[in-house]
Structure 1
Amino acid sequence: MFRHQKELQFEVKVDRPDPMLARQIQEVLGGQFDEMTVMMQYLFQGFNCRGEEKYKDMLMDIGTEEIGHVEMLCSLISQLLDGASPEDQAEAAKDPATAAIMGGINPQHLLVSGLGGLPTNSNGVPWNGSYIVASGNLLADMRSNLHAESQGRLQVARLYHMTKDEGVRATFRKMLARDRYHQYQWMEAINELEEKNGVVVPASFPPEAEKESQPEAYEFWNLSEGAESEEGPWATGSAPDGSGEYVYIKDPVAKGQVPNPEIPDTSLHHDLTRKKVFSK
């Protein structure tokens, strides 16, 4: 059960309207790494969580908080659009000074939402459910959550430097602080799950099940010009789980065969002869 509380989690108050900034903020509301994405991602992971209740509760707690962040951003966008009108956009085409202020307004803020936030990114592309990850594997999902919070916080930090509006910046600082804490939460959960089950997903398919393919799990194939990639810890030393030693393959050689596919039936109109391209 969800219950809406009228007060926002944090105060949202802008110094002055800024339709261009409102358009830019749409990216962290309805873009790929936005508040809508993490809201839906955490909630669906929580809805479908099986097993230890503490993980479900954490997912639901943070997912519910993200609902509040979506509302905060909608309020922020609405305040930045206060006073905007179709006439303003028409006027912007005439006067360079007005254009500097109003010329970047998102037409959908006027035509579609009536001066409110939209479930779209900064270019008007609708939010997409394929952005979210909810696989049912806790470690895989927590790693995806850490990635989402990292990208989202990065974008808010970039927006922070795109405005001098102290009211907007105050809201951003709250979001940056919460996104930092959420990264801590996912890192703690990831560490705990790795200690329980190991660092590789899924833990239920162990290295020994790979049988003759096990050596392939430790080889770094150098497939670019130069050998600088050998200098990284990913190319020498032990695997994080201690199951093997890395091997750097400086000049890798293909181990497979040349494909020799059958020519399709003529009714498929590939316009190819029945003659084999390669001989066995």
Structure 2
Amino acid sequence: MFFHIKELQYTAKPDKPDPIYAKKLQEVLGGQYGEMSVMMQYLFQGWNSRAESKYKDMLLDIGTEEIGHVEMLATMIAQLLDDAPLDQVEQMAKDPAIGAVLGGMNPQHAIVSSLGALPSDSVGYPWNSRYIVASGDLLADFRANLNAESQGRLQVIRLYEQTTDPGIRDMLSFMIARDTMHQNQWLAAIAEIEAKQGMITPASFPPELEKREVVHQFMNFSQGEESAAGRWASGPAMDGTGDFEYVQQPKAYGQAPILKPAPDFMHSRADQAPSIVNVGTLSK
């Protein structure tokens, strides 16, 4: 079960209303890499976890923290919408399309949510569960978590740079710091798992069933050769099981894709629709 306390994890109070910035903040609330996404991703990974108890506990710890971040953002958005200019709100209600262009405010904040936050991104696209990853493979999931925190921190920093409001910046500064910790957290968890099972996931697939001749080849499919200078093109492979090989002109291993002709009924003309077999009439 979950407990809720009235106080927020950190202060979420702008110095003045700003309905246009409220629209921008919707991205890090309900966007693909927003707080709703990481909240649901971590909680479902935790609820579904069959791994060591420390991983389940850690996932539920961070997932519960993200619930608090959702509340902080929702509170901030609602306050940014407080006292929005009356003529702007009325204009939105009369003609959302014109209002969105002239005012820059999200018309749904005035029409749908009564000056409250929405579970959607900055252009009104609703949050959906396809944003989250919960595969059951710890290494794959934790790498997805690191990506989510990296993209989320990037977006919050961009939003920080788009306002001078001290109250907004104060809250975003806290969230950026927590994102720094969360990236460190996932990097630590990833390193721990890699030390146990190796860097390639899933580790359960027998290596001898892979086509070993291509397992460490970097294949250059472009005309340039600049990619040969990368760490991925020579030297020991990251998984420690061989060396990288740079292949300048990869060869085709497969056959020419020649398919069988389509069945005759696929070629029938529009004016010669396939006949329908009479299966009898309905009894009265």
If the length of structure 1 is used for normalisation, what is the TM-score?
0.90
Q: 2:135·2:141 contact (CA, 8 Å) conserved in 1? A: yes
Q: Which runs of no fewer than 5 residues in structure 2 stay unpaired?
A: 93-98, 270-284
Identity of aligned residues (%): 57
Aligned to 2:226: 228
Aligned to 1:49: 49
SS class of match (2:189): helix
For 1:241 and 1:230, the matched residues in 2 are separated by 19
SS class of match (2:61): helix
After the TM superposition, list the runs of 4 or more consecutive aligned residues in structure 1 that deviate by more than 6 angstroms. none
Offset at 1:225?
1.9
Moved more, 50-59 or 83-92: 83-92
SS class of match (1:234): helix
For 1:17 and 1:266, the matched residues in 2 are separated by 68
CA offsets, 1:211-235, max 9 Å, x none?
Answer: xx11111111111121000000001
CA offsets, 1:161-203, max 9 Å, x none?
Answer: 0000000000000000001000000000000000000000100
Q: 1:238·1:244 contact (CA, 8 Å) conserved in 2? A: yes
CA offsets, 1:124-149, max 9 Å, x none?
Answer: 00001100000000000000000000
Aligned to 1:257: 255
Aligned to 1:216: 214
For 1:85 and 1:260, the matched residues in 2 are separated by 66
Aligned to 2:70: 70
Aligned to 2:190: 190
* Structure 2 counterpart of 1:248, from 246, 249, 262: 246
State the AA in 2 paired with 1:118.
L
For 1:54 and 1:90, the matched residues in 2 are separated by 53
Moved more, 251-260 or 10-19: 251-260
Is 2:130 the partner of 1:130? yes
For 2:32 and 2:69, the matched residues in 1 are separated by 16
Q: 1:86·1:110 contact (CA, 8 Å) conserved in 2? A: no
State the AA in 1 paired with 2:169.
R
Aligned to 1:111: 111
For 1:269 and 1:111, the matched residues in 2 are separated by 52
Offset at 1:209?
2.7
If the length of structure 2 is used for normalisation, what is the TM-score?
0.89
The total of aligned residue pairs comes to: 262
Aligned to 1:12: 12
Q: Which runs of no fewer than 5 residues in structure 1 stay unpaired?
A: 93-98, 272-280
For 1:151 and 1:193, the matched residues in 2 are separated by 23
Moved more, 161-170 or 218-227: 218-227
Offset at 1:265?
1.4
**RMSD (CA atoms):** 1.8
Offset at 1:253?
1.8
Aligned to 1:267: 265
Aligned to 1:26: 26
